C-alpha cells in the first residue's frame, strides 16, 4: 500500500500574498495543488515551501544583488542548498509592487535557459 502524501500546511495569508504577486503577470500560470509554483521553459521560477516561504529562481548576478539588498539567503530543501534560488524575506513578500520586479527577472531568466524537454507524452 502506498504511503499517503501529506497535504502542505501553507499559511493562508502567505498563499494569498503569493497569489496576489502571480496575478501581476497574467501570462504566468500558478500551478501545484499542495506546493504552489510557477514555471517557464520547463524550469520552476517560483514556489512556496510547505511553511509558506517564497523561493525565486534568479540569475547568478541577480541572486548576489538580492542577497545583499534584502539580507536573504539560498533556501535549503531536503538538506540541499538551492543555489539557483533565493528565499524571500517575509517583509518583502508583503510588498507586491517591489517584489514584482523579481518575478519578472525570474521569468526572463528561465526563458533565457535552454528549454527542458517535456516529460508529457
pLDDT in 10s for each residue of the chain, 121 residues = 454 445 558 999 999 999 999 999 999 999 998 899 999 999 999 999 999 999 999 999 999 999 999 999 999 999 999 999 999 999 999 999 999 999 999 999 999 999 988 776 6
The overall pTM is greater than 0.85: yes
Q: For residues 46 and 7, give the distance between their C-alpha atoms in angstroms, rounded to a whole number.
A: 19
Cell of 6: 501529506
Q: Does 119 reside within a domain?
A: no
Q: Which of 8, 112, 3 is nearest to 53 (CA)?
A: 8
Structurally, how many domains does the chain consist of?
1
Q: Does 28 reside within a domain?
A: yes
The CATH code of the domain that includes 21 is 3.30.1460.30
Q: Does 81 reside within a domain?
A: yes
Q: Does 56 reside within a domain?
A: yes
The helix, strand and coil proportions of the chain, stated in percent and rounded to the nearest 5, come to 35, 20, 45
Amino acid at each position: 500500500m502506498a504511503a499517503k502524501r501529506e497535504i502542505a500546511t501553507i499559511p493562508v495569508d502567505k498563499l494569498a500574498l503569493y497569489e496576489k504577486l502571480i496575478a501581476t503577470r497574467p501570462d504566468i500560470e500558478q500551478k501545484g495543488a499542495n506546493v504552489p509554483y510557477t514555471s517557464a521553459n520547463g524550469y520552476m521560477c517560483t514556489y512556496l515551501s510547505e511553511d509558506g516561504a517564497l523561493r525565486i529562481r534568479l540569475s547568478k548576478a541577480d541572486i548576489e544583488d538580492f542577497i545583499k539588498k534584502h539580507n536573504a539567503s539560498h533556501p535549503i530543501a531536503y538538506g540541499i542548498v538551492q543555489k539557483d534560488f533565493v528565499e524571500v524575506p517575509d517583509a518583502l513578500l508583503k510588498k507586491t509592487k517591489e517584489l514584482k520586479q523579481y518575478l519578472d527577472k525570474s521569468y526572463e531568466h528561465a526563458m533565457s535557459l535552454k528549454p527542458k524537454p517535456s516529460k508529457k507524452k
